């Protein structure tokens, strides 16, 4: 297996950092991402072999753009793992851009980084088994008219992540673009009662980013523990994928085109 160069969002701790550890242990070059300078220092201490740590709060569109600029300044990457994500505890939290934080971080960040980072050979998007309860409806995706339901907003965002992966796979046929359900893992989001440890939760995304296995060199698939998994049927609908990509393009001013 030839060495790869991989950038991982949301990798100062948890699944992102663990994916970085697995890749570095396999001889790959890894760049991490942290929300602020303090967390960047923590990430570098946790994985000293990381070649760099990019800094930016990806709940804010201007900072997402700054993260993309930093990544591009580092040179071309072979793969990007879109790991960053937040849960939905508490009331609706709105970003400076007027978006619910869960939508900004879980959907807009991977979308805009995909649009702005120099096109890699592989893309991996973190979803969740909870996407099966999500809705692809974009009529009130920002929860302006509806009463806020954090669990539903999270499920929606994870469905959107699979749709994003599949939409990119269609528009960029030379790029391997896949989505992953890491399982219920012992992270800050998953909690201490989760049945799986970090390594098993990070293995599939690291494998998709770097492996020469034929099973990993596919596109437009949804994986769980290195095996293709069934997903909600709407995720495969081309019209819904395109609606999401167009919606995100309008919000960000950046398009993912062929």
DSSP state of 223: E
Mark whether 158 is an active-site residue: yes
Q: Per the structure block, which two tokens stand in for 31?
A: 């760049």
- The CA–CA distances, whole Å, from 197 to 49, 135, 181, 182, 209 equal 22, 29, 14, 10, 20
In whole angstroms, give the CA distance from residue 254 to residue 221: 25
Exactly one of 44, 76, 111, 154 is catalytic; name it. Answer: 154
In angstroms, the first-to-last Cα distance of the chain is: 29
In whole angstroms, give the CA distance from residue 89 to residue 74: 35
Exactly one of 44, 111, 125, 158 is catalytic; name it. Answer: 158
Q: In what order do the strands lie in the sheet with 227-228?
A: 52-55, 29-34, 5-8, 79-82, 122-126, 176-181, 222-224, 227-228
Mark whether 188 is an active-site residue: no
| Torsional sign, CA 124, 127, 128, 133 | negative
Query: Catalytic residue numbers?
Result: 154, 158
């Amino acid at each position: 297996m030839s060495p790869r160069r991989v950038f991982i969002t949301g990798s100062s701790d948890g699944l992102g950092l663990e994916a970085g550890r697995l890749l570095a242990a396999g001889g790959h070059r890894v760049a991490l991402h942290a929300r602020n300078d303090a967390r960047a220092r923590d990430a570098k201490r946790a994985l000293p072999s990381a070649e760099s740590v990019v800094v930016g709060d990806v709940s804010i569109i201007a900072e997402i753009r700054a993260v993309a600029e930093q990544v591009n300044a580092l040179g071309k990457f072979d793969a990007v793992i879109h790991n960053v994500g937040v849960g939905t505890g508490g009331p609706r939290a709105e970003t400076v851009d007027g978006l619910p934080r869960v939508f900004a971080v879980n959907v807009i960040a991977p979308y805009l980084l995909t649009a702005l980072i120099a096109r890699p050979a592989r893309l991996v998007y973190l979803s969740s088994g909870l996407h099966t309860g999500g809705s692809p409806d974009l009529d009130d995706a920002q929860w302006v008219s509806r009463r806020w339901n954090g669990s539903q907003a999270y499920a929606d965002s994870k469905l959107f992540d699979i749709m994003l992966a599949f939409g990119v796979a269609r528009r960029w046929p030379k790029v391997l673009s896949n989505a992953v359900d890491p399982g219920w893992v012992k992270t800050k989001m998953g909690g201490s009662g989760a049945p799986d440890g970090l390594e098993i939760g990070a293995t599939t995304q690291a494998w998709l980013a770097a492996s020469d296995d034929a099973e990993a060199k596919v596109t437009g698939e949804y994986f769980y523990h290195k095996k293709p998994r069934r997903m909600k049927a709407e995720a495969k609908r081309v019209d819904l994928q395109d609606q999401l990509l167009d919606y995100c393009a309008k919000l960000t001013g950046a398009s993912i085109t062929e």
